[in-house]
C-alpha cells in the first residue's frame, strides 16, 4: 500500500506544481535559441460536425434543353460534349422539309399584307374625297387587320421553329426559302449531354442537347437519417482540396429506403477551378456558432494529466494555458474555450517549452 500511496502523492504534487508554475520564464535570447515561433489563432465561425459524401450538381433552374423545333435530319453538330457555349451560339444544323412550308406560308402572308395595306391606303384617299362610302372603307380595313394578324402568326411560327427575327426579315426581303434550320443555345454555359448524332432523323420537339449554366453550383450531400437533427439551415460545408465553401439551404424531408439517408442541399459560395458538375467528393459539415472558436496547428496543443494546453506568449515568456479542443480538422485543432483572438500561441518549439514547463529539460529561469 505504501508504494501506491507515494505514487498517488507524487502525481498530486506534480499536478499542483504544473498549476503553480504555469509560467515558463524566457527572455528574447532564450526564445530565439529554442527556435520558438508564435502565431495568432485563426478565428472560425463553425464547429466540425461530420464528414459525408456529396455530389456537385447544377441547380435545376439553370439547366436547359435544346430541342428540334421541326421534324428533320441532323446535318451538322458544331459543339463537342463538355465545351463552353455562349448565349445564341450555333450548336447544330438540321434539314427540315416542313420548314419550306412554313417559309412559304410567311411569304404568302407577307404578300397578302402588302396588298391589303395598299388597298387600305387607296380607300382612305377615296373616303376623304367622298368617292366611296364609310362601309366600304371599313370592309377594306377589316381585310387589312386580318392580313396583318396572319403575317404576325406566320412570323411567330417561324420564330418558334428556330429562325431569328433577323433571318425572318431577310426572308421577307429576299423571298428565298431553304430547308436548313439553325439550332442555337439559349444560355451561356456548358454542353452537358448530347442526345443526337449527325444523320439522325428526329421528330418535332425531340430533345437534342442539354446545356447547364455553371456559374452557380450546388452540393447534394448524403446524410444518415440519425444525424439529420444535428443539421441546421445556414450551417457551413467545407473542403480544402478541391477548395469548396458552401452554405446549407435545405434538409430533405424524405429518407431513402435503401440507404436510410437523406439529401442535404448546399449552395457553393466559393470554389476553385477544379470543381466540376458531376463530381463525387467527401465534404465536412460545420455547425455554425456565435461563440468564439479558433483553429491552431495540432502541434501547438499538448496534453498533460488529461488536460490540453497551449503556450501563450507573455511579457515574461510563455504561460501554459488550459484549453478545450472541440475537434481535430486535419492538421488543425478546433478550440472553443481558453483562447482569445489577440493571443499569440507557440506553434514551433512546443516540445522545448513543455520540457521547460514540466522540468524535464532544465528550468526556464
Residue-wise pLDDT tens digits, 54-99:
999 999 999 999 999 999 999 999 999 999 999 999 999 999 998 9
- Residue percentage of the chain with pLDDT more than 90: 60
Spatial separation of the C-alpha atoms in residues 325 and 294, rounded to whole Å: 10
Instruction: Measure the CA–CA gap between 154 and 107, rounded to whole angstroms.
Output: 9
State the cell numbers at 196: 443526337
First-to-final CA distance of the chain: 37
Tell me which residue of 279, 207, 291, 290 sits closest to 243, measured CA to CA: 279
Output the DSSP codes for 101-125. Answer: HHHHHHHHHHHHHHHHHHHHHHHHH
Contacts of 130 (CB under 8 A, 6+ apart): none
Q: Give the pLDDT of residue 14.
A: 41
- Angle 351-320-333 (CA atoms, 0-180°, nearest 5)? 70
The 10s digit of each residue's pLDDT in 289-318 is 777 889 999 999 999 888 999 999 999 999
Q: H helices within 129-259, ranges in order?
A: 134-160, 165-174
- pLDDT number for residue 12: 36
Angle at 344 between CA 360 and CA 306, to 5 degrees: 45
Cell 463530381 belongs to 279
Residue 364 has pLDDT above 70, yes or no: no
Q: DSSP secondary-structure letter at 359?
A: T
**What is each CA distance from 15 to 18, 309, 336, 358, in whole angstroms?**
5, 13, 23, 10
pTM for the full predicted model: 0.65
Which pLDDT value is given to residue 360? 54
Cα dihedral value 118, 123, 125, 127, nearest 10: -170
Grid coordinates given for 211: 446545356
Amino acid at each position: 500500500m505504501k508504494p501506491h500511496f507515494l505514487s498517488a502523492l507524487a502525481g498530486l504534487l506534480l499536478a499542483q506544481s504544473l498549476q503553480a508554475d504555469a509560467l515558463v520564464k524566457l527572455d528574447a535570447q532564450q526564445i530565439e535559441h529554442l527556435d520558438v515561433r508564435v502565431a495568432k489563432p485563426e478565428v472560425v465561425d463553425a464547429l466540425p460536425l461530420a464528414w459525408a459524401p456529396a455530389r456537385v450538381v447544377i441547380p435545376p433552374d439553370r439547366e436547359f434543353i435544346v430541342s428540334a423545333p421541326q421534324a428533320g435530319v441532323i446535318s451538322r453538330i458544331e459543339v463537342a460534349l463538355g465545351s463552353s457555349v455562349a448565349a445564341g451560339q450555333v450548336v447544330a444544323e438540321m434539314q427540315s422539309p416542313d420548314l419550306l412550308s412554313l417559309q412559304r406560308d410567311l411569304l404568302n402572308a407577307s404578300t397578302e399584307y402588302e396588298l391589303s395595306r395598299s388597298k387600305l391606303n387607296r380607300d382612305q384617299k377615296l373616303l376623304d374625297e367622298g368617292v366611296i362610302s364609310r362601309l366600304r372603307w371599313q370592309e377594306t380595313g377589316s381585310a387589312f387587320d386580318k392580313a396583318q394578324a396572319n403575317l404576325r402568326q406566320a412570323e411567330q411560327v417561324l420564330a418558334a421553329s428556330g429562325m431569328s427575327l433577323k433571318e425572318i426579315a431577310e426572308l421577307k426581303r429576299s423571298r428565298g426559302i431553304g430547308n436548313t434550320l439553325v439550332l442555337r443555345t439559349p444560355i451561356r454555359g456548358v454542353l452537358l449531354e448530347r442526345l443526337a448524332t449527325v444523320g439522325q432523323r428526329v421528330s418535332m420537339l425531340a430533345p437534342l442537347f442539354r446545356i447547364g449554366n455553371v456559374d452557380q453550383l450546388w452540393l447534394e450531400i448524403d446524410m444518415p437519417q440519425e444525424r439529420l437533427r444535428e443539421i441546421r439551415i445556414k450551417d457551413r460545408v467545407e473542403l480544402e482540396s478541391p477548395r469548396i465553401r458552401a452554405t446549407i439551404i435545405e434538409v430533405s424531408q424524405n429518407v431513402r429506403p435503401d440507404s436510410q439517408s437523406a439529401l442535404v442541399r448546399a449552395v457553393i459560395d466559393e470554389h476553385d477551378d477544379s470543381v466540376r458538375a458531376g463530381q463525387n467528393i467527401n465534404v465536412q459539415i460545420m455547425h455554425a456558432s456565435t461563440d468564439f472558436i479558433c483553429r491552431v496547428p495540432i502541434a501547438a496543443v499538448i496534453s498533460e494529466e488529461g488536460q490540453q494546453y497551449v503556450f501563450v506568449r507573455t511579457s515574461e515568456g510563455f504561460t501554459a494555458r488550459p484549453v478545450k479542443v472541440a475537434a481535430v480538422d486535419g492538421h488543425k485543432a478546433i478550440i472553443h474555450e481558453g483562447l482569445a483572438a489577440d493571443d499569440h500561441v507557440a506553434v514551433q518549439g512546443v516540445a522545448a517549452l513543455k520540457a521547460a514547463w514540466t522540468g524535464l529539460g532544465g528550468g526556464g529561469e
